Amino acid sequence: MNILLLGSGGREHALAWKIAASPLAERLYCAPGNAGIAKEAEIVALDVADHAAVIAFCRAQQIGLVVVGPEGPLCAGIVDDLAAAGIKAFGPSKAAARLEGSKGFTKDLCRANNIPTAAYERFTAADPAKAYARAQGAPIVVKADGLAAGKGVVVAQSVTEAEAAIDMMFAGGLGAAGAEVVIEEFLTGEEASFFALCDGERAIPLVSAQDHKRVLDGDQGPNTGGMGAYSPAPVMTAELTQRTMAEIVLPTVRAMKSMGTPYKGVLYAGLMITAQGPKLIEYNVRFGDPECQVLMLRLMSDLVPALLACCDGVLGSFDLRWYPDAALTVVMAAKGYPGSYAKGSVIEGLDAAAAIEGVEIFHAGTLMENGNVVANGGRVLNVCAIGKEVVTAQARAYQAIDLVRWSDGFCRRDIGWRAIARERA
């Protein structure tokens, strides 16, 4: 079949790489794509926000499956519009995408279904929100209800900081996303990224992963979209995986079905592994970026039948096979990220880096200009590697990075440190 992939990041390059390897994929298109994706798919200049244009393209190219990478189009209802036009698409409906699109919706769903999560309240005005924050005390977490491109969460170390965040959000600092605010208890523990494929009724877990959100070594500095990831995450024991499915994912799938908005697609649970067990920090309604990159490297099975099984509601008979090897990815970002950064610098040495055994380079924010790969975003490259253990994968990834010549770029040098410490122990 012909397949259309929507998105332009490292996640989509990894998906394109895996989809292109499927014997089921005849022609693979991607919009808007990037310079790396162009090696796997035909890039099409489609405005993804223009659903009518996407539908027209699908009809003209006889697209049998649309795979939606990022949350924006999902929350905008692209899967509903494609379905209404008779086009199959992987990802949740607009109503089901509220699990990411509204933090208040997800918190209420957790409360109604006894799903472990941080204690919280929802607010539509600053004064009662501040009174609640004062009564609870710091540290406390202030979250914009809607999609805020990763800027909607403030972990406040003092009540003053919480009050400032509340004022910023209600003053429109995050646009419509901050018209409602969730204030929640600060959880302590180790974070993990948990993924499950869902077909509306059933869910099957993927292998474990962890990412590094902070920009600097030692997990210091401001939050980013993710500076690296690895799989497996040794913190996710078989028992924790089983509890996460039983206590968090499956009750969510059941609740969504009973509300008449069944969840189909990949469900990404951001977890805090607390002393009491796994608690849900938040849901995302798509693959994590950069976690997707390491998951695709470890996936032995064909991805396309798995995506189709989610769409068709037939996950029940499905079994995914994985390579036992570990995978790790290091993000190379433009200097200045997650703040302001320049675009347009030339990146060299990618072929030599990719030639190292076990290494795969996925592009995140790149562009082809006069035959050169140039930086075109904050997170620019994902240098990935597989290896017997996380420590081997890490060594290969940094060996490859040392061959990349890009003076405007930087990366963390310690991706995987928690996993490697556990491997050593």
Answer for which of 184, 291, 302, 360 binds ligand AMP (CB under 6 A) is: 184
By the rule CB under 6 A, 250 interacts with ligand AMP: no
Minimum gap (Å) between residue 83 Cβ and ligand AMP? 28
Answer for which of 78, 133, 183, 187 binds ligand AMP (CB under 6 A) is: 187
3-state per-residue secondary structure call for 23-54: CCCCCEEEEECCCCHHHCCEECCCCCCCHHHH
Minimum gap (Å) between residue 237 Cβ and ligand AMP? 21
By the rule CB under 6 A, 281 interacts with ligand AMP: yes
Of 129 and 187, CB closest to ligand AMP: 187
Minimum gap (Å) between residue 226 Cβ and ligand AMP? 9
By the rule CB under 6 A, 235 interacts with ligand AMP: no
Residue with tokens 């929640």: 184
By the rule CB under 6 A, 318 interacts with ligand AMP: no
Of 147 and 296, CB closest to ligand AMP: 147
The pair of structure tokens assigned to 198 is 């869902």
Minimum gap (Å) between residue 359 Cβ and ligand AMP? 28
By the rule CB under 6 A, 221 interacts with ligand AMP: no
By the rule CB under 6 A, 307 interacts with ligand AMP: no
Count of CB atoms situated within 10 Å of the CB of 365: 24
Minimum gap (Å) between residue 231 Cβ and ligand AMP? 17
By the rule CB under 6 A, 155 interacts with ligand AMP: yes
CA atoms within 13 A on the CB side of 239: 3
Number of residues engaging ligand AMP in binding (CB under 6 A): 14
Minimum gap (Å) between residue 87 Cβ and ligand AMP? 31
Q: Tell me which residue of 14, 81, 77 sits closest to 297, measured CA to CA.
A: 14
Q: Are 408 and 346 in contact (CB under 8 A)?
A: no
Residue 401 has φ and ψ, to the nearest 5°, of -60, -35
Q: Are 374 and 344 in contact (CB under 8 A)?
A: yes
By the rule CB under 6 A, 291 interacts with ligand AMP: no
DSSP string covering 317-378? G----B-SSEEEEEEEEETTTTS------EEB-HHHHHTSTTEEEEESSEEEETTEEEE-SS
Residue 245 DSSP code: I
CA distances to 156, 160, 175, 226 from 168, in Å: 13, 12, 10, 24
Q: Check the CA dihedral 18-20-26-30 and report its sign.
A: positive
The pair of structure tokens assigned to 407 is 């003076």
By the rule CB under 6 A, 191 interacts with ligand AMP: yes
By the rule CB under 6 A, 186 interacts with ligand AMP: yes
Footprint of ligand AMP on 66-125 (CB under 6 A): 118
Largest CA-CA distance found in the chain, in angstroms, rounded: 59
Segment contacting ligand AMP by CB under 6 A, of 28-36, 160-168, 180-188, 360-368: 180-188
Of 329 and 392, CB closest to ligand AMP: 329
Minimum gap (Å) between residue 148 Cβ and ligand AMP? 9
By the rule CB under 6 A, 214 interacts with ligand AMP: no
Residues that bind ligand AMP in the complex, under the rule CB under 6 A: 118, 141, 153, 155, 184-187, 191, 213, 223, 270, 281-282
